[in-house]
């Protein structure tokens, strides 16, 4: 699945919704005061929050186009950038630096 695909976003939204429903459904069953119940509640909350933040991140990435592919996101296959220095503009006028910071 592509990073900017609607399928991935739909899968993330459905996963977040399913985790929310699961949390609401299991919460009364995890209301005991044992360490397992507390760990279960914390795990459900963390999983739901992670899924919601994933949906938000995917939506933001689709709207601003920060990362086009998984390789961009993970930093793989990076080639060094090319720096080009121009002394004159397209019509032959001399270019001047307006600021350096």
In order, the DSSP letters of 6-69 are HHHHHHHHHHHHHHHHHHHHHTTTT-SSSHHHHHHHHHHHHHHHHHHHHHHHHHHHHHH-S-SS
Has residue 93 got a pLDDT over 90? Answer: no
pTM of the model: 0.71
Least Cα distance to 67 among 3, 9, 5, 1 occurs for 3
More confident residue, 57 or 73: 57
Q: What's the confidence (pLDDT) of residue 85?
A: 72
Q: What is the mean pLDDT of residues 48-53?
A: 98
pLDDT at 19 over 80: yes
Rounded CA-CA distance 51/12 in Å is 7
Instruction: Report pLDDT for 100.
Output: 63
Closest C-alpha to 27, from 9, 15, 42: 42
pLDDT single digits (tens) 60-82: 999 998 888 888 888 887 777 67
Tell me the average pLDDT across 37-45.
96
Euclidean distance between CA atoms 27 and 33, whole angstroms:
12
Q: What mean pLDDT do residues 1-6 have? A: 91
Structure tokens at 41: 């509640």
């Amino acid at each position: 699945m592509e990073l900017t695909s609607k399928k991935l976003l739909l899968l993330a939204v459905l996963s977040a919704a399913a985790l929310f429903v699961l949390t609401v459904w299991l919460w009364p069953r995890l209301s005991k005061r044992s360490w397992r119940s507390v760990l279960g509640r914390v795990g459900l909350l963390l999983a739901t929050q992670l899924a919601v933040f994933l949906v938000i991140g995917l939506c933001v990435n689709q709207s601003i186009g920060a990362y086009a592919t998984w390789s961009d996101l993970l930093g793989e296959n990076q080639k060094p950038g090319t720096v080009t220095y121009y002394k004159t503009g397209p019509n032959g006028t001399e270019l001047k630096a307006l600021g350096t910071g």
